[in-house]
Amino acid sequence: MHRRFLIPILLLMASVWAVAQDAAESEEGRFQTRYSVEAIDDATFYGNLSAPLPTVLNQVLLEPAFGVRERNRWNFTSSLIGLTATYSDTSTQLRVRETYGGLSAGDFDFTVGRKMVLWGTGYAFSAAGVLDPPRMPTNPTDRLNVNEGRDMIKADWIHGTQAISAAWSTAALAPAGTSLHDTTAFRYNVLVRGFDTSLIAGHDRGGDSFGGLTFTRVVGQAWEVHGEAVWREQAAVLLGAKYTVSGTTFIGEFYTAPNIPCYRDPGVSATAGRQHYGFFSAGKARLRERAGWKEWGVSGSIVANLDDQSYTGVFDASRWFGNHFSSYVHLEVPRGSTTSEYGSAPYSTATSVGIRFQL
Amino acid sequence: MSNVNCFLRWYLILFLTGLLLASAWVCRAATPGKADAEALLKQSDRFRNGWPSYVVHVKITDFEAGRPDEEHLYEVSQKGTEKTYVEFLSPREKGEHLLMLGDDMWVYLPDTSRPVRITPLERLTGDASNGDVARTNYAADYSPVYLRTEKVGTVECYVLDLTAKRKGATYQRILYWLRAEDTRPVKAEFYLTSGKHIKSATFDEYGLSDGQMVLQRLTLYDEILHNSHSVLEYSGATPRALPDKLFYQGRADRF
């Protein structure tokens, strides 16, 4: 059979299957909807700027999200970002974080559209997350929710605790200035003896092929370990662990990757060779044990380039006011020589303060 | 005459032996052994998990120093004793969800870069922990031993001592009071591996939902800080056919 007919026929068969299942199933709340709206006003103050730039960046973000699901068959999800940034001038953008439709039929799921895929297991770094949004070790939680998904067609076969996924992602609709390629990727994920393990393989059009392995595992009462090993021209390895004690969570990661374009950070020279990184964070989501501090959350982290011995220290504090409002402080302190990865930042401190509304 | 005496003597012996055996049987029935404790625990689980596959809404209100402090809303989907999926619905947690598969648990946070594996200790955070919401089939998680019969107020209760039999269990030990009349849970005390009494619970209200008598209100008391408690209100419990795919650990997009 000609390959171009295969996908439409598969989709048609899945639709017929879904309709047949609809008819057989009893009525129980046909549509389910979910929505959320988030508004953030964030001001970042740069200390000791080494370039003639404004010292304050103000960003106002409005992030509506909506999802509708028809039983367990069809679904549509959209999440947008409206961003107004005032720095040397004022600019307004509308970004599509995710917008995709899905069809679920038997053991198969089909998805078309822009979607966030999270295949990597690293917290601050990832080599195996070939379709994931980029990780920023100084901001691994994407605190302003500005990451965008990849435009893709994806099919998943899910059976129990194992799944096979096939995805084709186009770079044609990617934001200008990104270095994405059209990517074809496959993943087999299985939970066996507590190991959540994945095998990943794929190819970037006009680029290279890659293959890798990821895992996570809980050990004892307080430890979680995770890792990735990927071959892409050369080996990239991530090993990490999380430890919990008295409600405080510690995360440590070691990451090494070849200095090739898909792994290279902007501050690293193309001639610098293989890079090695360390990451450590400690955080407590809620200071429950201290009277009056229950609404507070604090965390601190450090990310270091072990080759040029530069690092950035990061401190976060947040406080909730009722069920809808919160405020936060995010502080970044880069250190190192002016030619190093983190030391080359044009400021000595970046302090962000903001207020967030969630509905 | 001697024949009559002999007959009466044998009759008396048989009567007393029968009485003794009957008493022993009655006493055995009144004080359940290991097998009975397991049966009691299984029966009591039906008050918290009315159907093999169902959905229920849970509203948790936290109280600090007696005053309502925070509210959290969850939709809990449960299939069998091994699969639970919890969707967080309150504004400050929207987009988060929790998955329990046997001994393993994941939390999906919209602001982290991946599904996060939850360690057993992380299940204990807060007055109402992840485990309190997601792991309610005690017969699957704990080995029970019958301790005694005891009155809680005016209610006659069986007291069971539950010990964790698998690593996925939320607590190491639970003292569990079940109403003797129908085995519905009345109160519980929760202990850590260290032996520390961490929480207590009272099972306050039951009601009919879709023809099944199920728990509708539970209060959890913090035994460490003592000044806080959480009220869990269960509503809209309905049997529902849930697809296995809902419980697949790699599916980070839940809607």
Write the pLDDT tens digit of every residue in B179-191: 999 999 999 999 9
- For residue B24, is pLDDT > 60? no
Task: Kindly list the domain boundaries of chain B, sorted by start residue.
Answer: 35-247
**Residue A37 placed within a domain:** yes
User: Residue B255 has what pLDDT?
Assistant: 57
Nearest-CB residue to A28 (from B115, B240, B243): B240
Tokens at residue A280, please? Answer: 């450590």
Beta-bridge partner residues of A245:
A248
Q: Within 10 A of A301 (CB to CB), how many other CB atoms are there? A: 21
Are A218 and B118 in contact (CB < 8 Å)? yes
Nearest-angstrom CA–CA distance, B216 and B206:
5
User: Residue A226 has what pLDDT?
Assistant: 95
User: Residue B185 in 3-state DSSP?
Assistant: strand
Q: Which CATH number belongs to the domain containing residue A150 in this structure?
A: 2.40.160.10
Between these two residues, A133 and B5, which has the higher pLDDT value? A133
Q: Given the structure tokens 């974080």, which residue do they identify?
A: A97
Are B104 and A25 in contact (CB < 8 Å)? no
| Plot region of A235 (φ>0 → left; ψ -120 to 50 → alpha; else → beta) | beta
- For residue B228, is pLDDT > 60? yes
**Residue A84 placed within a domain:** no
Nearest-angstrom CA–CA distance, B246 and B77:
9
Nearest-angstrom CA–CA distance, A156 and A102:
11
User: Residue B23 has what pLDDT?
Assistant: 57
Q: Nearest CA of chain A to the CA of B104: how many Å? A: 7
- Burial of residue B212 (CB within 10 Å: 0-12, 13-18, 19+) is middle
Look at the alpha carbons of A82, A86, A87, A91 in this order and tell me if their dihedral is positive or negative.
Answer: positive
- For residue B35, is pLDDT > 90? no
CATH classification number, B35-247, choose in 3.30.565.10, 2.70.98.60, 3.90.1150.10, 2.50.20.10 = 2.50.20.10
Q: Given the structure tokens 């209610």, which residue do they identify?
A: B155
Sites in chain A below the pLDDT cut of 50: 1-27
Look at the alpha carbons of B64, B68, B69, B70 in this order and tell me if their dihedral is positive or negative.
Answer: positive
Between these two residues, B84 and A21, which has the higher pLDDT value? B84
Nearest-angstrom CA–CA distance, A12 and A2:
16
Tokens at residue B197, please? Answer: 């009494």
User: Residue B131 in 3-state DSSP?
Assistant: helix
User: What's the complex ipTM?
Assistant: 0.79
- For residue B26, is pLDDT > 80? no
**Residue A211 placed within a domain:** yes
Between these two residues, B224 and B55, which has the higher pLDDT value? B55
Binding-face residues of B in 130-169 toward A, CB within 8 A = none
**Residue A226 placed within a domain:** yes
- For residue B121, is pLDDT > 90? no
**Residue A249 placed within a domain:** yes
Nearest-CB residue to A323 (from B71, B101, B125): B71
> Which residues from B are below 8 Å from A126, CB to CB?
113-114
Whether residue B249 lies within 8 A of chain A, CB to CB, comes out as yes
**Residue A294 placed within a domain:** yes
Stated pTM of the model? 0.81
For chain B, counts of helices (H) and of strands (E): 4, 13
Express as a percent the part of chain B with pLDDT over 90: 42
Binding-face residues of B in 41-70 toward A, CB within 8 A = 64, 69-70
User: Residue B135 has what pLDDT?
Assistant: 85
Give, for B180, the enclosing helix (H) or strand (E): none
Q: Nearest CA of chain A to the CA of B23: how many Å? A: 47
Nearest-CB residue to A244 (from B69, B122, B248): B122
> Which residues from A are below 8 Å from B101, CB to CB?
161, 191
Which tens digits make up the pLDDT trace of B124-173? 555 677 788 888 899 999 999 999 999 999 999 999 999 999 888 889 99
Are A118 and B113 in contact (CB < 8 Å)? yes
Tokens at residue B157, please? Answer: 């209760």
Which tens digits make up the pLDDT trace of B92-113? 888 888 898 888 888 888 766 5
**Residue A121 placed within a domain:** yes
What domain range is A221 assigned to?
29-57+115-358
- Tell me if A68 sits within 8 A of A82, measured CB to CB: no
Domain count, chain A: 1
- Full 3-state SS string of A253-268: EEEEECCCCCCCCCCC
Q: Which residue type occupies B221?
A: Y
Return all residues near B94 (Cβ < 8 A) that are at least 6 apart: A34, A36, A358, B88, B110
Are B101 and A135 in contact (CB < 8 Å)? no
Return all residues near A283 (Cβ < 8 A) that are at least 6 apart: A248, A249, A297, A298, A299, A300, A301, A316
Nearest-angstrom CA–CA distance, B48 and B237:
10
A vs B, Cβ pairs < 8 A, gives 131
> Which residues from A are below 8 Å from B119, CB to CB?
218, 220-224, 242, 244
Mean pLDDT of B57-77: 87
User: Residue A271 has what pLDDT?
Assistant: 81
Nearest CA in chain B to A137: B113
Are B70 and A69 in contact (CB < 8 Å)? no
Q: Given the structure tokens 């993943």, which residue do they identify?
A: A187
